[in-house]
Amino acid sequence: MIINDVEVRFVSGGDDIGVGSFGLVIHAYDSDNNKCFALKTSEMDERTVNAVQREWEVLNYFNTLEEQQGFAARNHIIKMHEMKHEANYMYFLLELGGKSLGEYYRQKVAERHGRNARLEKQFRTNILKGAAQALQQFHQKGGIHLDVKEDNFVIALDENQSEPDAVFESTETIPVKLIDFNISVIVERGHVAHIEYMADAIRAPELLVDRRNVI
């Protein structure tokens, strides 16, 4: 597949990263530059078109912010490298992230303790500090995420696209990136929250009483 000037290869259904309400994410490879990406494919129909468009607006906002203020202005937010709108689909070529927070934590603890899993408080704290850092940056730049959960944070990869080593005795923050902006809001853009997409866990009580009021 060619997305703008970038040709990427992938195995359909062979290397999925994740699937959600608004798209499928798979590994994609640019052989010309020897680089991996996350390719998110979102179908745009009557139910999803606003959410898919919103994600593009948020990703593009942070790309513009980087051009104006430098990479440090958005270094905890996943980057959109390319986008392609074709027929009823939007294709996002995204920076490749690592595992979700919980998946990374559980894997590293299992590697250290095997089946004798135990709580690694400092290691968990280091991961959560990274997530807090990402969310703080999103808020400081005028964003409201509206879907904060474990799966919407991924471990940031280094220049070799590798995850950081787990040093359990360290107090150093583990770098994390925020992802998935289908229902997010950028205040200065005048976005209105699409409350119909919100999970019940974060809906205001008055919105749960009568779902007919959800518009």
**Residues placed in the known binding site for ATP:** 40
Q: Which two tokens stand for residue 193?
A: 């929250």
d(CA 88, CA 23): 12
Cα Rg of the chain (Å, integer) = 18
3-state secondary structure 42-88: EECCCCCHHHHHHHHHHHHHHHHHHHHHCHHHCCCECCEEEEEEECC
The H-assigned helical ranges of the chain are 49-69, 101-113, 121-140, 205-209
Give the type of residue at 123.
F
Tracing tokens 């409350």 back to the chain, one arrives at 195
Task: List the binding residues.
Answer: 40
